[in-house]
Amino acid sequence: MAVSMIAAVGKNLELGKNNDLIWHFKEDMKFFKETTMGHPVIMGRKTFESLPKALPGRRNIVISSNPDYKAEGAETVTSVKDALKIAEAEDVFIIGGGRIYKEFLPYADNLYLTEINAECKDADTYFPEFNKSDYIKEIVNFYDVNGTEFYHVIYKK
């Protein structure tokens, strides 16, 4: 099983604000969909509730501290270990939020990051700090959308 994390981050690793993504680029949404399609996606309850519905074409696994929590179209668990256990031997993608990324970072084999050359001063959710020297960096794509540059980067252990 490979554990991969996928996120779009600003210069200061900012991820979100008010339980929503800060940046919305169609190129990034396409990258996310193509990269995670056919794989289980693991997320926290708040991330799941921010979606219009369970992500199609992917097994949705939601972590909630409430053992009675039900998520339509998804399986629910109460811990990182339980999420990895029910994902079995499949390659999985961790899709947020901030606390979930932090809890899974020690298990992560790959980080699929959209590195955005911008800042959001009032972000309230951040990707965890990580030691880039622990990974091999591969730049996959570069974009400039209306003056905002961003890269799709894969960090592999």
Q: What is the mean pLDDT of residues 99-116?
A: 97
More confident residue, 89 or 34: 34
**Reported pTM:** 0.95
Of 100, 111, 106, 116, the closest CA to residue 136 belongs to 111
Would you state the pLDDT for residue 88? Answer: 82
Would you state the pLDDT for residue 148? Answer: 95
What structural domains does the chain harbor? 3-156 (3.40.430.10)
Cα–Cα distances (Å) from 66 to 78, 79, 96, in that order, read: 7, 10, 17
Query: In 3-state terms, what secondary structure has residue 80?
Result: helix
Would you state the pLDDT for residue 6? Answer: 98
Would you state the pLDDT for residue 90? Answer: 77
> What average pLDDT does the chain have?
96
Reply yes or no on whether the pLDDT at 149 is more than 90: yes
pLDDT tens per residue, range 48-104: 999 999 999 999 999 999 999 999 999 999 999 999 999 987 799 999 999 999 999
Q: Distance (Å, rounded) from C-alpha 114 to C-alpha 148?
A: 12
